[in-house]
Amino acid sequence: MGWWQRRFGGLPRAFWGLMSGVGLARLGFFAVPFLTFWLVADRHFTAAQAAVVMTAFGLGWTLSMPLGGWLADRLGRRLVIVSSAFGAAAAYVAIGGAQGLLWTAGLAFATGLTFDLYRPAVQAFLTDVVPGDHRKRALGLLYLVMNVSRMVACVLGGLLASRAFFVLFLVNAAVNVLFGLLALRLPASSSTSARNVGFGAALRDPALIGFTAITAVFYSVHMQSMVSLPIVFSSVGATPLDYGLLLALDPLVVVVVQLLFQQWLLRTPALVVCALGAGMVGIGLALTGLSGSLGEAALTIPLWVAGEVAFLTAAPGVVAMIAPEHLRGVYFGVWGGTQGLAAVAAPLVASLLAGSLLIWLGGAVFGVIAGVACLGLRGWLLRRRTDLAAVPVRAAIRS
């Protein structure tokens, strides 16, 4: 079996269609990473006003993931993916032309509600259509393509923003329309035949709740890369292109780390990988936030991005193992809602601690706490559910 066959063989046509659409959407992923920078640099919002807008965005994001997961189990994966793509396109155009704090905050909520609504459906769809022996490679390849596209998007976003920020929103909307059209070509995925699809079973599962709480802390720390770091970069004179190039370091390091350390990540128990990743993100972001120049920041970014890779490579496999087959969308939605929750908490913390060392030192402490909690959860699962705790990422993804 050749290298190409080992790497890409055995994946169904539906996977390639989905990968093409998500990769295209991420290629135009400008608006969300640039939101805070746009608010302070183009709209001239204060840090407090920017925090209000980002909090509204986070509230929409918090609702979108559980809603998207529930709809994916109830109505089918394809419908949710298509609706998310077209809805996000409309939201991007609207917020790009918004004026005033109230309208901007309201449209930020709509953007948060729609832009990631598809993610639990995509994760459930992928688990549905890819045979168990190939899910490891499928998830790795999809993650790789998303980050290659995002890396290009960061550079293009910086170039476009240097001319006109509104172009970011127009291009982002256009690629989402194309994503929606591609998603229409996907096979009609199944919805749960039972009519009692709900959150009860997920919310009563201590393994899911424990890991979801850990992930919420991880994302709350990690989200400062979108909330507080742009303000730091702006204060030291970063141009939009400078900011775009710094953002591009994130997916670039993701690609490099994944290619170099993928086998180790897949061999090591998932919760051990998550523990290491959470600690690296907390400590690495603190070093970046305390940097005195753009050059120093660029040198420290790879540390926390490597931690991001470790955590986010392992975590979906843990959720996939925990989730019952008929509630995959709901489980991924509950777990994924932590991103939106963090998007609410991070701006609030940033507004209270703006300019303070505590925001970075506290992030380092909570990153380490999240890592220790991962090891504690693994110990609890080893005593009660060894099938979940002892498996490496490779086995978790095969589940």
pLDDT of 278 reads: 95
Q: How far is CA 152 from the centre of its chain?
A: 17
Q: What tokens does 106 get?
A: 């309201």
Decide if 318 is inside a domain.
yes
pLDDT of 399 reads: 36
Decide if 365 is inside a domain.
yes
Whether residue 225 contacts residue 136, with contact meaning beta carbons closer than 8 Å, is answered with no
* pLDDT band (50, 70, 90) for residue 319: confident
* pLDDT band (50, 70, 90) for residue 4: very low
pLDDT of 270 reads: 83
Mapped onto helix, strand or coil, the DSSP state of residue 269 is: strand
* pLDDT band (50, 70, 90) for residue 275: very high
Decide if 39 is inside a domain.
yes
Q: How does pLDDT run across 142-201, given as a tens digit for each residue?
A: 777 777 777 777 677 767 766 677 788 888 888 889 999 988 888 775 545 445 567 788
Range of the domain at 300: 14-187+199-398
CA distance 108 to 91: 8
Decide if 8 is inside a domain.
no
pLDDT of 1 reads: 45
Query: CA separation (Å) from 86 to 24, 114, 251, 261, 383?
Result: 14, 9, 25, 36, 46
Q: How does pLDDT run across 210-262, given as a tens digit for each residue?
A: 999 999 999 989 888 777 777 777 666 666 667 667 766 766 777 777 777 76
Mapped onto helix, strand or coil, the DSSP state of residue 392 is: strand
CA distance 335 to 312: 12
Decide if 90 is inside a domain.
yes
Q: What tokens does 273 get?
A: 């990988």
Whether residue 120 contacts residue 63, with contact meaning beta carbons closer than 8 Å, is answered with no
Whether residue 69 contacts residue 358, with contact meaning beta carbons closer than 8 Å, is answered with no
Q: How far is CA 132 from the centre of its chain?
A: 24
Structurally, the chain folds into a number of domains equal to 1
Mean model confidence pLDDT for the chain: 79
Decide if 280 is inside a domain.
yes
Decide if 299 is inside a domain.
yes
Residues in a beta bridge with 392: 269
CA distance 17 to 185: 8
Decide if 79 is inside a domain.
yes
Q: How does pLDDT run across 345-397, given as a tens digit for each residue?
A: 877 777 777 666 788 888 899 999 999 999 998 888 887 754 455 545 444 44
pLDDT of 398 reads: 39
Q: How does pLDDT run across 335-348, given as a tens digit for each residue?
A: 988 887 887 787 77
DSSP tag of 85: H
What backbone phi and psi angles, to 5 degrees, belong to 392? -75, 175
Whether residue 59 contacts residue 344, with contact meaning beta carbons closer than 8 Å, is answered with yes
Query: CA separation (Å) from 168 to 84, 93, 155, 352, 384?
Result: 19, 9, 12, 30, 49
Average pLDDT on 10-17 reads: 76
Mapped onto helix, strand or coil, the DSSP state of residue 9 is: coil
pLDDT of 197 reads: 61
Is the Cα torsion angle 373, 142, 145, 340 positive or negative in sign? negative
Q: How does pLDDT run across 69-109, given as a tens digit for each residue?
A: 889 888 888 899 999 999 999 998 898 888 888 999 999 99
CATH number of the domain where residue 88 is located: 1.20.1250.20
